[in-house]
Amino acid sequence: MQGDSEKDLAARCRAGDKSAYADLVRAYSARVFAICMAMLGNRHDAEDVAQQTLLKGLTGINGLRHDEQFGAWISRIARNLCIDFIRKRRRKPSLAARQADPAWPESHDYRELQAALAKLPEESKLTLMLYYFDGRSTKNIAAMLDISQCAVQTRLCRARRQLRKLLDAQ
Protein backbone atom coordinates (compact mmCIF):
# COMPACT_ATOMS: atom_id res chain seq x y z
CA MET A 1 0.00 0.00 0.00
CA GLN A 2 1.61 3.23 -1.12
CA GLY A 3 -0.86 6.04 -0.82
CA ASP A 4 -3.17 7.21 -3.51
CA SER A 5 -2.42 5.96 -6.94
CA GLU A 6 -1.90 8.24 -9.88
CA LYS A 7 -5.27 7.48 -11.38
CA ASP A 8 -6.98 7.79 -8.06
CA LEU A 9 -5.49 11.23 -7.58
CA ALA A 10 -6.21 12.29 -11.14
CA ALA A 11 -9.83 11.16 -10.75
CA ARG A 12 -10.22 13.11 -7.53
CA CYS A 13 -8.59 16.10 -9.12
CA ARG A 14 -10.96 16.07 -12.05
CA ALA A 15 -13.78 15.90 -9.58
CA GLY A 16 -12.56 19.21 -8.14
CA ASP A 17 -10.39 18.10 -5.25
CA LYS A 18 -7.57 20.62 -5.09
CA SER A 19 -5.53 18.68 -2.58
CA ALA A 20 -5.39 15.76 -5.00
CA TYR A 21 -3.66 17.96 -7.53
CA ALA A 22 -1.24 19.08 -4.85
CA ASP A 23 -0.37 15.42 -4.33
CA LEU A 24 0.14 14.99 -8.05
CA VAL A 25 2.42 18.03 -8.05
CA ARG A 26 4.44 16.47 -5.25
CA ALA A 27 4.70 13.23 -7.13
CA TYR A 28 5.57 14.69 -10.51
CA SER A 29 7.42 17.94 -9.94
CA ALA A 30 10.79 16.21 -10.04
CA ARG A 31 9.98 14.46 -13.29
CA VAL A 32 8.66 17.63 -14.91
CA PHE A 33 11.69 19.55 -13.73
CA ALA A 34 14.00 16.82 -15.03
CA ILE A 35 12.43 17.01 -18.46
CA CYS A 36 12.63 20.79 -18.55
CA MET A 37 16.19 20.75 -17.32
CA ALA A 38 17.14 18.22 -19.95
CA MET A 39 15.55 20.22 -22.73
CA LEU A 40 16.39 23.74 -21.66
CA GLY A 41 19.73 23.19 -19.98
CA ASN A 42 19.44 25.92 -17.39
CA ARG A 43 17.85 25.90 -14.03
CA HIS A 44 16.04 29.24 -14.19
CA ASP A 45 14.23 28.49 -17.42
CA ALA A 46 13.59 24.92 -16.35
CA GLU A 47 11.97 26.11 -13.15
CA ASP A 48 9.74 28.62 -14.92
CA VAL A 49 8.61 26.20 -17.59
CA ALA A 50 8.10 23.43 -15.05
CA GLN A 51 5.92 25.81 -13.07
CA GLN A 52 3.90 26.64 -16.16
CA THR A 53 3.57 22.96 -16.94
CA LEU A 54 2.21 22.04 -13.53
CA LEU A 55 -0.28 24.90 -13.64
CA LYS A 56 -1.33 24.02 -17.13
CA GLY A 57 -1.85 20.48 -15.92
CA LEU A 58 -4.28 21.80 -13.34
CA THR A 59 -6.29 23.93 -15.72
CA GLY A 60 -6.36 21.26 -18.39
CA ILE A 61 -7.00 18.25 -16.20
CA ASN A 62 -10.41 17.74 -17.77
CA GLY A 63 -8.64 17.04 -21.04
CA LEU A 64 -6.92 14.01 -19.53
CA ARG A 65 -8.63 11.03 -21.04
CA HIS A 66 -7.09 8.22 -19.03
CA ASP A 67 -6.54 8.93 -15.38
CA GLU A 68 -3.78 6.38 -15.12
CA GLN A 69 -1.75 8.26 -17.71
CA PHE A 70 -1.36 11.48 -15.83
CA GLY A 71 2.44 11.08 -15.74
CA ALA A 72 2.75 10.61 -19.48
CA TRP A 73 0.30 13.41 -20.11
CA ILE A 74 2.05 15.97 -17.90
CA SER A 75 5.40 14.95 -19.42
CA ARG A 76 4.01 15.68 -22.86
CA ILE A 77 2.84 19.11 -21.73
CA ALA A 78 6.31 19.78 -20.32
CA ARG A 79 7.97 18.85 -23.59
CA ASN A 80 5.59 20.95 -25.65
CA LEU A 81 6.09 23.97 -23.42
CA CYS A 82 9.85 23.50 -23.60
CA ILE A 83 9.68 23.43 -27.38
CA ASP A 84 7.62 26.63 -27.34
CA PHE A 85 10.09 28.17 -24.97
CA ILE A 86 13.08 27.22 -27.12
CA ARG A 87 11.41 28.75 -30.16
CA LYS A 88 10.81 31.98 -28.29
CA ARG A 89 14.31 31.95 -26.85
CA ARG A 90 15.79 31.76 -30.31
CA ARG A 91 14.09 35.02 -31.02
CA LYS A 92 14.93 36.63 -27.70
CA PRO A 93 17.63 35.26 -25.41
CA SER A 94 16.51 34.79 -21.85
CA LEU A 95 17.68 37.40 -19.41
CA ALA A 96 17.50 34.95 -16.56
CA ALA A 97 19.85 32.59 -18.35
CA ARG A 98 22.51 35.26 -18.57
CA GLN A 99 22.21 36.43 -15.01
CA ALA A 100 24.55 35.07 -12.38
CA ASP A 101 22.81 32.66 -10.10
CA PRO A 102 23.82 33.27 -6.49
CA ALA A 103 21.94 30.23 -5.27
CA TRP A 104 23.92 27.80 -7.36
CA PRO A 105 26.57 25.91 -5.45
CA GLU A 106 29.97 27.40 -6.05
CA SER A 107 31.52 24.04 -6.61
CA HIS A 108 33.82 23.74 -9.57
CA ASP A 109 32.63 20.17 -10.03
CA TYR A 110 29.03 21.24 -10.49
CA ARG A 111 29.92 23.86 -13.04
CA GLU A 112 31.93 21.33 -14.98
CA LEU A 113 29.20 18.78 -14.69
CA GLN A 114 26.52 21.20 -15.81
CA ALA A 115 28.63 22.19 -18.80
CA ALA A 116 29.21 18.55 -19.69
CA LEU A 117 25.53 17.71 -19.27
CA ALA A 118 24.58 20.54 -21.58
CA LYS A 119 26.72 19.02 -24.29
CA LEU A 120 25.07 15.62 -24.15
CA PRO A 121 22.57 14.67 -26.83
CA GLU A 122 19.03 15.33 -25.71
CA GLU A 123 18.12 11.67 -25.62
CA SER A 124 20.98 10.83 -23.25
CA LYS A 125 20.38 13.91 -21.16
CA LEU A 126 16.71 13.13 -20.66
CA THR A 127 17.42 9.56 -19.65
CA LEU A 128 20.08 10.64 -17.18
CA MET A 129 17.90 13.35 -15.71
CA LEU A 130 14.96 11.05 -15.22
CA TYR A 131 17.16 8.40 -13.72
CA TYR A 132 18.87 10.68 -11.23
CA PHE A 133 16.51 13.56 -10.59
CA ASP A 134 13.29 11.69 -10.51
CA GLY A 135 14.76 8.52 -9.07
CA ARG A 136 12.98 6.44 -11.65
CA SER A 137 13.86 2.85 -12.39
CA THR A 138 14.97 1.87 -15.87
CA LYS A 139 11.71 -0.04 -16.20
CA ASN A 140 9.77 3.04 -15.35
CA ILE A 141 11.71 5.23 -17.74
CA ALA A 142 11.21 2.63 -20.45
CA ALA A 143 7.46 2.81 -19.99
CA MET A 144 7.56 6.56 -19.97
CA LEU A 145 9.66 6.95 -23.12
CA ASP A 146 7.95 4.03 -24.78
CA ILE A 147 11.17 2.14 -25.41
CA SER A 148 12.47 -1.15 -24.06
CA GLN A 149 14.13 -1.41 -20.68
CA CYS A 150 17.18 -2.67 -22.48
CA ALA A 151 17.22 0.49 -24.60
CA VAL A 152 17.07 2.61 -21.46
CA GLN A 153 20.01 0.77 -19.99
CA THR A 154 21.93 1.24 -23.21
CA ARG A 155 21.13 4.94 -23.26
CA LEU A 156 22.15 5.30 -19.64
CA CYS A 157 25.33 3.44 -20.28
CA ARG A 158 26.09 5.55 -23.34
CA ALA A 159 25.21 8.75 -21.52
CA ARG A 160 27.52 7.91 -18.66
CA ARG A 161 30.36 7.15 -21.03
CA GLN A 162 29.80 10.36 -22.96
CA LEU A 163 29.67 12.27 -19.73
CA ARG A 164 32.89 10.67 -18.53
CA LYS A 165 34.60 11.60 -21.76
CA LEU A 166 33.41 15.17 -21.55
CA LEU A 167 34.48 15.45 -17.92
CA ASP A 168 37.89 13.99 -18.71
CA ALA A 169 38.30 16.46 -21.56
CA GLN A 170 37.62 19.47 -19.33
Partner 1 sequence: MQDNCKNIQEQIEELVAGSLPAERAAELQAHIIACAACRAYLEALQADDKLLGKFTEAMQPTIARLENSVIEAIADSRPGAQRFTAECAEDAEFFNLHSSSAASALSAVKGESDARASVLRTILRSRAAKFAAAAVVIVALALMMHRGNSRLDVTAPAFAEMVEAMGKVAWVHTVETKHIRDKGREEEWVFYDYSYRAKVVFKKSDKGDFSCQDYVSCTETFYDREADTIVSGYRPEYHDPWWHPTPQSLVEQWKKDFEKGRTVVTHQIGEQDGVVADVYSSTDYGTTKQGSRYVASEFILIVDRNKHLPLATSFKFWMSDGTLDTDTDTKYSYPEKGPSDIYELGCPKTAKVLDNSPTPELAQAVAGYRAGRESSPLRYIAILVTGSYNESAESYLINSVEVHYCDDYLQRCDLCFFQPITEQQFIEKAGNSFDSIMKWWTSQAKVDLRISHEKVYLYGQEYCCWLHRAGGSKDWVTLYRGYSPGKGRIGPRTLGRYMVYRNILSELGWTDWLLKTTGSWKVSLAENDYATSNNLLCIVVSDKSSFTGDGGASGGSLFYLNPQRNYICQKYELYPRSNRCYFREVLEYGQTDMGQWYPRKILTRENRRDVTPPERQEMITVYLDADPEFPEGIFDPEKLPK
Binding mask 45-64 for partner 1 (x = CB under 8 A): --xx-xxx-xx--xx-xx--
d(CA 113, CA 108): 8
First to last CA, the chain: 47
Q: Are 35 and 85 in contact (CB under 8 A)?
A: no
d(CA 47, CA 101): 13
DSSP string computed for 35-102: HHHHHH-SHHHHHHHHHHHHHHHHHTGGG-S-GGGHHHHHHHHHHHHHHHHHHHHHHS--HHHHS--T
Q: Which window, 27-35, 69-77, 119-127, 140-148, contacts partner 1 (CB under 8 A)?
A: 27-35
Between residue 93 and residue 132, which ones bind partner 1 under the rule CB under 8 A? 95-96, 103-105, 107, 109-110, 113-114, 128, 131-132
Among 22, 83, 115, 118, binds partner 1 (CB under 8 A): 22
Question: Distance of alpha carbon 49 from its chain centroid, rounded?
Answer: 10
Residue with Cβ nearer partner 1 (59 or 146): 59
Number of residues that bind partner 1 (CB under 8 A): 62
Q: Half-sphere exposure of 119 toward its Cβ, with a 13 Å CA cutoff?
A: 15
Binding of residue 160 to partner 1 (CB under 8 A)? yes
Among 1, 98, 108, 146, binds partner 1 (CB under 8 A): 1
Binding of residue 29 to partner 1 (CB under 8 A)? yes
Contact residues toward partner 1 (CB under 8 A) are 1-3, 5, 7-8, 11-12, 14-19, 21-23, 25-27, 29-30, 33, 37, 43-44, 47-48, 50-52, 54-55, 58-59, 61-62, 67, 95-96, 103-105, 107, 109-110, 113-114, 128, 131-133, 135, 137-138, 153, 156-157, 160, 163-164, 167
